[in-house]
Structure 1
Amino acid sequence: MDFLNGNIKAMYFKYLGAAFGSSLISSIYGVVDMAVVGQYHGPEGTAAMAVVAPVWNIIYSLGLLMGIGGSVLFSTLRGESSGNERRSNELFSAAVLGTALLAGLTWLAVIFFDRQLLLLFGAEETLLPLAQRYVLPIKFIVPSFLFTQLLSAFLRNDGNPGLATKAVLFGGFFNNFGDIFFVFVLDMGIMGAGIATAMGSVFSLLIMASHFFSKKCTLRFVWPKGLAGKLKKICVTGFSTFFIDVAMGILTVLFNRQILKYLGTDALSVYGIIINVSTFVQCCAYSIGQAAQPILSNNFGAGKGDRIRELQRYTLATAAAFALVWTAVCMTVPNGFVRVFMAPTDAILAIAPGIIRRYALSFLLLPLNIYSTYYFQALMKPGISLAVSVARGAVISGILIFLLPALFGAGAIWFAMPLTELLVTVYVLAMMRRCTAALPKEGIC
C-alpha cells in the first residue's frame, strides 16, 4: 500500500472497511455476552456484566497503549524514509516487550485480586458471584487480549488490515456461537459466556500471528537500543488512546456507584445496556481513527500536508454519518435494545426509554471527539490528544456525574455525558482547525 502517493479516498475507505469490521466484531464480543447472559439470568445477569465491563476496558486499553503508540511512531519513521526499516522494527520490538510486561502484571491482578476489583467496580453481594463466574475462564488467557490489540494495530500499519479483520471476524463468530452453545445448550450460564469469549480471543490471536509467515510481512523482532527510552516514547504517544478505554472503565465505576445510590438496580440494568450501545458507537469512532492513522502518520512523516487535509474531509464526514445513525436509532427504538439484552420487567420497560434517549444525545459528538485523539496522535501532538481524553474521560465527566444528580435530581445524571461531549467538542474543533491550517506550509502546527 503506497500511503504517500496512492489515492487517498480509495485507501481510506479500504482501511475503514477493514477497521470497521474489526471494531464492530470486537464490540459484539461484549454485546452478545451481555445479551445472552441477560436472557439466561435476567436483569441481574445484565447488571453483573455491567460490573465486569471496567475489567475489559483496562485490559483492552493496555493493549492499545503499546499498539497505537508503537504503530504511530513506526509509520511516521517509515514515512520519513524507506531506510528507517531497522529503526521502525526496534519500535515494534519495544512495543512487543512492553505488552509482555503489561500482560504479565494484568494477568497477576486478575488471577489474585478479581474479587477486590469487582467490588471496586460496583459489585454487591448479589452480583459478585455472577461476575466472578464470568471472569473465571478469562483468568487463563488474559495476555491474549493485550496481544490481539497490539498485533491488530501493527498489521494495519504493515499493509495487512484484511488479516486483522479476518482474525477478529473468526474470533467473533466463534464467540457468538459459543455463547449460545455454552450458556444454553450446555446450561453453563454466565460462565459459558466467559469460556466463549476466552476461546474467541485465542483464535483471533493465532490467526493474526500468521502474518509473520507471510511475504507481506516487514515486521521483524530486533533487540531495541535504548529500550527504556523507546517505551517512554511509545507510552507518551499512545497514552491518550489508552486513556479513552481506561476512562470508560472509570466512568462505568462512577456511574455504577451513583446509579445504585440514587436510582437502584433496575436503572443499573438499563445502564448496562447503554454501556454496550455506547461501545458500538465508540468502536465506530475507533474505526475512523484506525483507518486514518497509518495514512496520517506516513504523510505527516513525509511532510505532505495537502494529503492530510484531503483525508480530513472524509474522516469528518464519516464521523458525522455514524453520529446521526446511532442517535436516530436510540431515539426511535430504545426498548428494542432492552429486549435484545434481557428479558425485561415492566418496570424496566417503563424507565428505559427516558434513560437511553437522554444518554444517546452524547452520540452526536462522541465519534468526532474520539477520532480527534487519533488525529492529534498522528500529527505528533500527544499533549492535545491527552487533553481531549482526560477531559471527556475523567475530569469534566467525573465532575458532572457527581454534580448533576446532587443539584438537579437523580435523573439529571443521564445528561452528564452529552454535556461532557459538547464542552470537549469546542476544544477539539479549535485545535483541529489550528493544526490542519498549518499543515500545507510545514507539516507541523
Structure 2
Amino acid sequence: MNEFDNKPIGDTQSLTQSLTQSFTQPLSESHSHENTAINGPIFSTFLKFLIPSLVGIIAMSTAAIVDAIFIGNYVGAQALAAVNLIMPFMSLLFGIGLTLSIGGSVRAGKYIGENNNRAASAIFSKTLIVMSALAILICVTGFVWHESLFKSFGANEIVLPLMAEYFLPLLPFLVAQIITIVLYFFVRIDGHPNLAATALALGSVLNIALDYLFIVEFGWGLKGAALATGLAQLIPMLILMSYFLDKNRKLMLSFKQTKWFEVFSALYNGLSEFVSEISAGVIAFILNWLLITSVGVEGVAAITVVNYLIMVGFMMFFSVGDACQVIISQNFGAKKIKRIEHFLRLAFIITALVSVMCIVPLLVFTEVLIAVFLEQTALETMILAKQYVEIIWILFLFVGFNMVISAYLTAVHLPAQSAFVAIFRALILPGVLLLVLFLFIEDVHFLWALPLAEILSFALALGLFVNHQPKKRISQ
C-alpha cells in the first residue's frame, strides 16, 4: 500500500508536512541514488514536483500581472493593447522553445527511467544547442522586420509606436529567456525542482522591483517595462546554470554530438506544446482583429485585462500537467502502470480544486480585479472587461482537465494524439467558432466561441484518454 492509498487528499497534517519537506529539501535533490519519481511515495512525490513548479510558474505569472498593472495605471490602456498585439510573435518564439524543451525533456525522462543517462545527456545537449541558435536567428529576424510584423498583427497608427517602444528593448534578452526555458525543463527532469522554482521566483521578484523603478520612479513607460522584463530574465538563467556545478547530476553538456535527427524526434514529442503556443498566437491575432473591428482599441485593452485575470489559473493547470510529464515519463520508461494511474488520479483531483479556487474569486470580485489594471478614467474598457469575464469564466471548468490529459499523452510518447487535442482546443474549434459567431451574434457575445471550443475539446480529450489508459499504452 502506498501513501496515496492510506492518506486522504484533504489530510491537512500530511499536506503541511509534505509542503514543509518540499521547501526544506536541499536544492540538489538528485544527490541521493534513489529516483523518487519512480520509487517514492505517490502523494509526497507528486507534491515534490508540483509545489516548486507552482511557486515558480505563479511567481512568473505574478510578475507578468504586475507588469500589466504598472503599464495600465502609469502608461495607459492603449499601451496594454500594444503589448497584447505583440503576443503572436512571442507565442511563436516560446512555442518553439517549449516544443523542443518539453519534447526533449520527456525523451530524457524516459531514458532516465531506463537508466540510460548517456542518451539523456545527449538529447539535453542537442536541445540546448539548437534552441540557442534558433533564438538568435528569430531575434535578428524580429529586429530587422519588426515594423512589418506589427502591421501584420493588426497594428494601427495609434499603437504602432507603442509596440516598437516595448518590443525593441526586449529583443536582446529573448535569447536568455529561451535558454532559461530549456534549462528549466531539463533541470526538473533530473530531480531538481526546487532549483528550477527558485530561479523563476527570484527572477520574478526582480522583475517587479525593476517595474516600479523604471516605470514609476524613472517614468520610462513601455521601454522601462521591457527593460525590467529583459534584465530580470538574466537572473533565472544564471541560477539554473549552477546546475552544472553539481557533480552528481545525470545530464552532462557536450558540444560534440552525433545523430542530430533525434532533435526532430524531440520536436515531434513536444508537438502539442508547439501547436498550443502557435495556436494561441493565431487566436490572439483573430481575436484582436475582431475586437478592433467591432469595438476598437478599448476592446483589445479589455481582453488583455481579462487574459491577465485568468493567467494565474491557467498557469496552475499548466503546473499540474508539467508535474505529470516529469513523473509519468520516467514511470513510463520503468513500465510502472499502477504508479502512473495513481499520479493521474491525484492530478485530476487537484485540477478540480484549482478550478473552484479560480472561478469563485473571478465571479465574486470581478469589478475589483478589473479596476486593479486600469486607470479610473478607462470606464469603457472596464465595462467591456466585465462583459468578457461573464463569458470567459466557463473555461475554468474544462481547460485544466484538457491540459492534464494532453500532458499525459505527451509523457507516454503519444505526441500525435496530444497534438490532436491541442490543435482542436487551441486553434480549429476556437478559430472557426469565433469567425462564425462573429457573423451572426451582435456585441461581444461571439466570445462564447472560446468556452464552447473548450467543452467540445474536453469530449475529444476524454475519448483519447479512455483509449490510451496506462495499462493499454504500456502493453502496446
Output the TM-score relative to the length of structure 1: 0.95
TM superposition shift of 1:444: 4.4
**1:2 corresponding residue in structure 2:** 36
- Aligned alpha-carbon RMSD (Å): 1.5
Alignment of 1:319-398 (within 5 A): 319-344=351-376, 345-398=378-431
Candidates 71, 74, 96, aligned match of 2:105: 71
TM superposition shift of 1:199: 0.5
Q: Tell me if structure 1 keeps the 8 A contact 2:299–2:384.
A: yes
Distance of 1:267 and 1:442 partners within structure 2: 46
* Structure 1 position 420 matched with structure 2 position 453: yes
Amino acid paired to 1:338: I
Candidates 408, 418, 426, aligned match of 2:441: 408
Distance of 2:361 and 2:165 partners within structure 1: 33
**2:133 corresponding residue in structure 1:** 101
Q: Tell me if structure 2 keeps the 8 A contact 1:106–1:142.
A: no
CA deviation vs aligned residue, 1:188-246 (integer Å, no higher than 9, x gap)? 1111000000011111101111110123422112333211x201101000121122122
TM superposition shift of 1:52: 2.3
Structure 1: runs of 5 or more not aligned? none
Q: Tell me if structure 2 keeps the 8 A contact 1:46–1:342.
A: no
* Structure 1 position 299 matched with structure 2 position 331: yes
Distance of 2:123 and 2:384 partners within structure 1: 50
Alignment of 1:45-444 (within 5 A): 45-80=79-114, 82=115, 84-222=116-254, 223-227=256-260, 229-344=261-376, 345-436=378-469, 439-440=470-471, 443-444=474-475
Distance of 1:41 and 1:313 partners within structure 2: 45
Distance of 1:140 and 1:442 partners within structure 2: 44
Deviates more, 1:371-380 or 1:333-342: 333-342
TM superposition shift of 1:282: 2.1
- CA gap of 1:444–1:250, structure 2 versus 1, over 3 A, is farther
Distance of 2:227 and 2:379 partners within structure 1: 32
Distance of 2:442 and 2:252 partners within structure 1: 57
Amino acid paired to 1:145: Q
CA deviation vs aligned residue, 1:346-373 (integer Å, no higher than 9, x gap)? 3233332221120121121111112222
TM superposition shift of 1:441: 6.2
Q: Tell me if structure 1 keeps the 8 A contact 2:215–2:225.
A: yes
Identity %: 25
Q: Tell me if structure 1 keeps the 8 A contact 2:99–2:274.
A: yes
Distance of 2:289 and 2:72 partners within structure 1: 20
TM superposition shift of 1:48: 1.4
Structure 2: runs of 5 or more not aligned? 1-34
Distance of 1:95 and 1:158 partners within structure 2: 15
Distance of 1:254 and 1:340 partners within structure 2: 27
Distance of 1:291 and 1:377 partners within structure 2: 12
Distance of 1:444 and 1:276 partners within structure 2: 43
**1:33 corresponding residue in structure 2:** 67
TM superposition shift of 1:420: 0.6
Distance of 2:182 and 2:173 partners within structure 1: 15
SS of the residue corresponding to residue 3 of structure 1 reads helix
Q: Aligned residues, how many?
A: 440
Deviates more, 1:403-412 or 1:49-58: 49-58
- CA gap of 1:131–1:195, structure 2 versus 1, over 3 A, is same
Q: Tell me if structure 2 keeps the 8 A contact 1:334–1:352.
A: no
Distance of 1:257 and 1:104 partners within structure 2: 29
Q: Tell me if structure 2 keeps the 8 A contact 1:303–1:442.
A: no
Distance of 2:379 and 2:345 partners within structure 1: 46
CA deviation vs aligned residue, 1:283-303 (integer Å, no higher than 9, x gap)? 112101111212101111111
Amino acid paired to 1:379: V
Deviates more, 1:32-41 or 1:420-429: 32-41
- CA gap of 1:60–1:441, structure 2 versus 1, over 3 A, is closer
CA deviation vs aligned residue, 1:33-84 (integer Å, no higher than 9, x gap)? 211111112211221121122333222222211210100000101212x2x1
Distance of 2:375 and 2:196 partners within structure 1: 35
CA deviation vs aligned residue, 1:68-111 (integer Å, no higher than 9, x gap)? 0100000101212x2x1111111111111221232122111221
SS of the residue corresponding to residue 153 of structure 1 reads helix
- CA gap of 1:106–1:442, structure 2 versus 1, over 3 A, is closer
Deviates more, 1:346-355 or 1:284-293: 346-355
Q: Tell me if structure 1 keeps the 8 A contact 2:76–2:374.
A: yes
Q: Tell me if structure 2 keeps the 8 A contact 1:286–1:370.
A: yes
**2:29 corresponding residue in structure 1:** none
Q: Tell me if structure 2 keeps the 8 A contact 1:46–1:269.
A: yes
Q: Tell me if structure 2 keeps the 8 A contact 1:24–1:280.
A: yes
Amino acid paired to 1:65: T
- CA gap of 1:216–1:282, structure 2 versus 1, over 3 A, is farther
Output the TM-score relative to the length of structure 2: 0.89
Amino acid paired to 1:136: L
- CA gap of 1:269–1:215, structure 2 versus 1, over 3 A, is same
CA deviation vs aligned residue, 1:143-169 (integer Å, no higher than 9, x gap)? 111111111000110110111111111
Distance of 2:366 and 2:461 partners within structure 1: 29
- CA gap of 1:29–1:57, structure 2 versus 1, over 3 A, is farther
